Amino acid sequence: MADRLEVKELDQVVVRFSGDSGDGMQLAGNIFSTVSATVGNDICTFPDYPADIRAPQGSLTGVSGFQVHIGAQRVYTPGDKCDVLVAMNAAALKTQYRYAKSTACIIIDTDCFQAKDLQKAAFTTDNPIEELGIKNDVIAAPITQMVKACLADSGMENKAILKCRNMFALGLVCWLFNRDLEIAFNMLREKFAKKPAVAEANIKVIQAGYDYGANTHASVAHTYKVESKTKKPGKYMDIMGNKATAYGFIAAAEKAGKRLFLGSYPITPATDVLHELSKHKSLGVTTVQCEDEIAGCASSIGASFAGALAVTSTSGPGVCLKSEAMNLAVITELPLVILNVQRGGPSTGLPTKSEQTDLLQALFGRNGESPMPVIAATSPTNCFDAAYYASKMALEHMTPVVLLTDAFVANGSGAFKLPDLNDYPDICPPYVTPEMAGSYTPYMRNPDTQVRYWAIPGQEGYMHILGGLEKDGRTGAISTDPENHDKMCRLRAEKVARIPVPDVEVQGCVDDAELLIVGFGGTYGHLHSAMDEMVATGKKVALAHFSYLNPLPANTAEVLKRYKKVVVAEQNLGQFAAYLRMKVDGFVPYQFNQVKGQPFVVSELVAAFTEIYNK
């Protein structure tokens, strides 16, 4: 074996795995992320799926990417550009090289850079490295040949052997960053528990990739390590946002002493919530995959009427279809959480990409006066808390609640410290009391909160009818009286407006900022990083990031009017800025808007904000 290379310690590093959509880049990236999170690194990931259902193999539109940012301390974004780029074929190199730093190490499988591969990737010469003007260190290895040789005696078919190529690249990257392979081995044995031969084949290939790097030094001057400097005691896992959302719902149901019901129809990128919750029948979870979006929402309303914590999950197009049933939950004042994992639109749009373009739909996209609380998750790990508190709000205030995530936070992942439910507040629905028996009507309300009392069907003395027609506020009977309708609309709006939410927190140069950055939801990490970079250069900058969008925090107007300049940054054409202008008299912010289906680029934010700062 060759002499061991010097190990260089880094504070952070960004790795991007890319290849054909069938090359297993998401699996390789997820394993590397989990290995890093398990040893205490902070991580932030970004899976970048192709929008095509199944693009032709080797085509430019079929490239799938997975980027992970690993830090010794807190990291907020997946990184603008990568330090290591794995390109498993020519199309991956062609489309992904723009995401690599000028100093990046590039790993390619030379067996997938043959003439036909270069032609599919629209290269015009037989030297793609030179054609793209790449000056980086390139580890060019015949990965396909080596995987075939490694598994020659396995008895596996050639097609199955080729599916292990991603593990060779993963082994090589693990060597480059001095990662312990045992964690990866255990993950594979768990994933392929019913196919142990497949697990062992992949393990053998990872080890081969690791050994290739160790024995050849893979044309690099150093190997690296990222040692955690902010470890906190506890159990950690690498968790994706959709899974964290599912766990948050389960935790809320447990805390409230209720069964959890999910009525859903599969839609990208929300389907994983349905998949995850369907695994947990032992925890009292019931999932129903319905025939359409309307049925998914309506079935959840029925479950809510029967006393369950009811959730329906979808993305923007599904919310359009659910809106009538969502309004039924408004007028019946039943608790319901509507999860909208936002994606690129309009119409089918960019189903695997991320936007924040459903905000006004969540706030106002229904007929009639139809107020709903709206909460937005800020990161993959924050999805747990967002789901928990959305459920708490729905159950305690007898209202449907919209929970906004997006494809970036839903498919991304972070290092998640397993929470202690004892640290979370109780969930106390406003149940009817024994004293109300016999005199109960469905719209009897708590005078302080305007929340109606909840009678579960089957309770003696509490028989009642709910429905989509307006009801008399005193008797619960159908009513078309103009004064009653006006009163009921105001009561429903007042109930939502009175819901207490935490104040918005200002971070950074709280007392003397020359510029306040404002955002909501999944852009938190990028906006925080932009603020940090500007503060590091001596600029006075602060950040106010919103999770509670309706009702807005009580200190919203005071915060927005405190600073000389305010810029609202969002991944749409100005929906949050317009909403804030409506809610805060005299508020006229600068705006930064992009609708690219991709996360913000921190360097672009810094440039734009600096220009505003210097005006």
What are the phi and psi torsion angles at 593 (to 5°)? Answer: -130, 135
Please choose, from the candidates 206, 26, 214, 220, the residue with its C-alpha nearest in 3D space to the C-alpha of residue 140.
Answer: 220
**How far apart are alpha carbons 200 and 31 in whole angstroms?**
15
Report the residue count for the chain.
615
pLDDT in tens, 311-355: 999 999 999 999 999 999 999 999 999 999 999 999 999 999 999
4 pLDDT band (50/70/90 cuts)? low
Question: Across residues 575-602, what is the average pLDDT?
Answer: 97
**How far apart are alpha carbons 531 and 125 in whole angstroms?**
43
Predicted pLDDT at 219: 57
With a CB cutoff of 8 Å and minimum separation 6, the contacts of 473 are: 443, 484, 487, 488, 491
pLDDT in tens, 142-188: 999 999 999 999 999 999 999 999 999 999 999 999 898 999 999 99
What is the number of alpha carbons within 13 Å of residue 149 lying toward its C-beta? Answer: 9
Please choose, from the candidates 68, 75, 91, 92, the residue with its C-alpha nearest in 3D space to the C-alpha of residue 16.
Answer: 68
Domains and CATH numbers, the chain: 7-225 (3.40.920.10), 238-423 (3.40.50.970), 430-500 (no CATH), 506-614 (3.40.50.920)
pLDDT in tens, 45-58: 999 988 776 778 88
Question: Across residues 288-298, what is the average pLDDT?
Answer: 98
* Least confident piece of the model among 176-180, 404-408, 545-549, 560-564: 176-180
* Least confident piece of the model among 226-235, 241-250, 406-415, 537-546: 226-235
- Angle between helix axes 196-216 and 165-176 (nearest 10 degrees) is 40
Predicted pLDDT at 1: 39
Residue 43 burial (10 A CB sphere; 0-12, 13-18, 19+): buried
User: Which amino acid makes up residue 370?
Assistant: S
**How far apart are alpha carbons 471 and 440 in whole angstroms?**
15
Taken in order 16, 22, 23, 27, is the CA torsion positive or negative? Answer: positive
Predicted pLDDT at 438: 85
- What percent of the chain has a predicted confidence (pLDDT) above 70? 97
Question: Across residues 184-197, what is the average pLDDT?
Answer: 93
Whether 229 has a pLDDT exceeding 70, the answer reads no
446 pLDDT band (50/70/90 cuts)? very high
Contact status, residue 413 vs residue 348, Cβ threshold 8 Å: no
Question: Across residues 456-472, what is the average pLDDT?
Answer: 93
